[in-house]
Amino acid sequence: MQRLRVLGLALFAVFAFAAVASASASAALPEFSPAGSASKPVSFAGTAFASNLFETAYDQVWDYGGGATLSGEITGANEVSNVIISFKGGNPYACTNGKEGEATTNKLKGRLGYINKAKTEVGLLLEAATGPIMKCSAQAPFYGEEYKGSIIAPITPVNTLAKALHLSYEQWGTGKEKFQKFEGEEALHNLELTYDGTEHTQLAIAVQVELKKFEHEKHVVEVEVKA
């Protein structure tokens, strides 16, 4: 009887440990998982197709007809860092901080989160590592305007190795993003334009982004977003 009691306690401990381990593993998701033995960091490049920034106060559409290119690194289980986006082909109203019609962000960082866990819908949040996301030229008509805030887009596919991942930024109403927060979190994420140092107006972006050319130590790898 004593042996059975000891065995029962041992089995209970094993099952309890397994339940805790399973819960911990689940809590770690969503995450980036490179194929094979590749570890992080994993670098990536990307392309954004014709992007629009909608500025609420004046009902203007700021268009970058040339789209954008980007680069960055997957640096943690659910984190990206050193993300830089370069826009091209901007119209006269579009922010410029380089050649005419071109603008480049500061370094951005980001993380994965659930948009809808039950449906395994995952999003990627991007925000500036320091300072504003992007600062426009000090010359007219921009006068040093700054883009601030943070932004979420669904990332697909999930639970499958892929050579490319897709982000879909969508506007929802005037100057708002369709996806403004992660499930289980209270913080809202939107873009904002600051000008004259004090005035603010909300922005929304509509653009399709493809993340590709994932590399670890100069070797091409596939990446899975586990959810």
Q: Would you kindly state where each structural domain of the chain is located, as residue ranges? A: 2-226
Measured between alpha carbons, how far is 171 from 225 in angstroms, rounded to an integer? 24
**SS3 call for 100:** coil
pTM of the model: 0.83
Helices (H) and strands (E) in the chain, counts: 1, 15
From residue 159, give the alpha-carbon distance in Å to each of 32, 127, 147, 162, 184.
10, 25, 33, 9, 21
Measured between alpha carbons, how far is 204 from 61 in angstroms, rounded to an integer? 10
Dihedral angle at the C-alpha atoms of 56, 60, 66, 69, nearest 10 degrees? -20
Give the strand pairing for 199-216 and 223-226: unpaired
Tell me the pLDDT of the chain (227 aa) as tens digits.
444 343 343 333 333 333 433 433 445 899 999 998 778 899 999 998 877 776 665 566 778 888 899 999 999 999 999 999 999 988 877 888 988 889 999 999 999 999 999 999 999 999 999 999 999 887 766 677 899 999 999 999 999 999 999 999 988 877 788 999 999 999 999 998 887 766 678 888 888 999 999 999 999 999 999 99
